[in-house]
Amino acid sequence: MKVIHRSETMLVLEDRPWLLGICLIGMALAFVFGGMAMIGEGRALGGAFFAAFGGGVPILIAALMVRRVRLTLDRSTGLLTRTMRSVRGFSAESHALDRLTKASVSVNYDSDGNTYRTELHLADPDETVPFTSYYTSGRRPEAMAEAVNHWLTTPR
């Protein structure tokens, strides 16, 4: 998550989960190479099964979970636009910028520790729009909420 553009008229935030994508691809390759090693040792059926399912599951998870999210706040058009792109396609949703009242950080409490995500609060009607669909550790969600709130209070 990072701010990729900031001006008086526009704020653009983006989340590209590179680390998750790279880890899932690495996991898939490890299973495929393990399956190939098993095939090389003469265990063809077990190796093929290991490579196909062990390599296929991380790729399936990557296709379902990894997506680039971009949030654009544009005073010139008066729109708040959230776009999501993944291997499954592209989607976008827009809201009137004057509906945006603030950004906050939502906390998910778990026995393994707390995770966070940035959420946008809209008025008329009241609605909460998450920046990402998942929660993450670290301070990036708080930094994104602060960037949005600072931009909203900056005079035009």
79, 126: one domain: yes
More confident site: 134 or 120? 120
Distance CA 37, CA 117 (A): 41
Mean pLDDT score, 108-137: 88
88, 132: one domain: yes
Mean pLDDT score, 134-145: 86
Q: What percent of the chain has pLDDT over 90?
A: 46
Rounded to the nearest angstrom, the gap between the alpha carbon of residue 88 and the centroid of all alpha carbons in its chain is: 14
Query: How many folded domains does the chain comprise?
Result: 2
DSSP 3-state of 140: helix
pTM value?
0.70
For 33, half-sphere exposure in the C-beta direction (CA atoms, 13 angstrom radius) is 6
Task: Output the domain CATH number for residue 77.
Answer: 2.30.29
Distance CA 132, CA 2 (A): 12
81, 145: one domain: yes
127, 147: one domain: yes
pLDDT tens across 61-76, in order? 887 777 788 999 999 9
pLDDT tens across 18-34, in order? 677 788 889 999 999 99
Which tokens is 92 given? Answer: 């976008």
**Helix ranges, the chain (H):** 18-40, 44-65, 140-153
What amino acid occupies position 139?
R
60, 100: one domain: no
What amino acid occupies position 127?
E
CB contact at 8 A, 12 and 131:
no
110, 71: one domain: yes
| Mean pLDDT, the chain, whole residue set | 88
87, 149: one domain: yes
Q: Which residue has the tokens 């265990």?
A: 43
pLDDT at 81 over 90: yes
pLDDT at 43 over 80: yes
43, 79: one domain: no
37, 12: one domain: no
Domain hosting residue 25, numbered range? 21-64
82, 122: one domain: yes
User: Can you give the pLDDT at residue 68?
Assistant: 85
Q: Quick one: pLDDT band at residue 123, thresholds 50, 70, 90?
A: very high
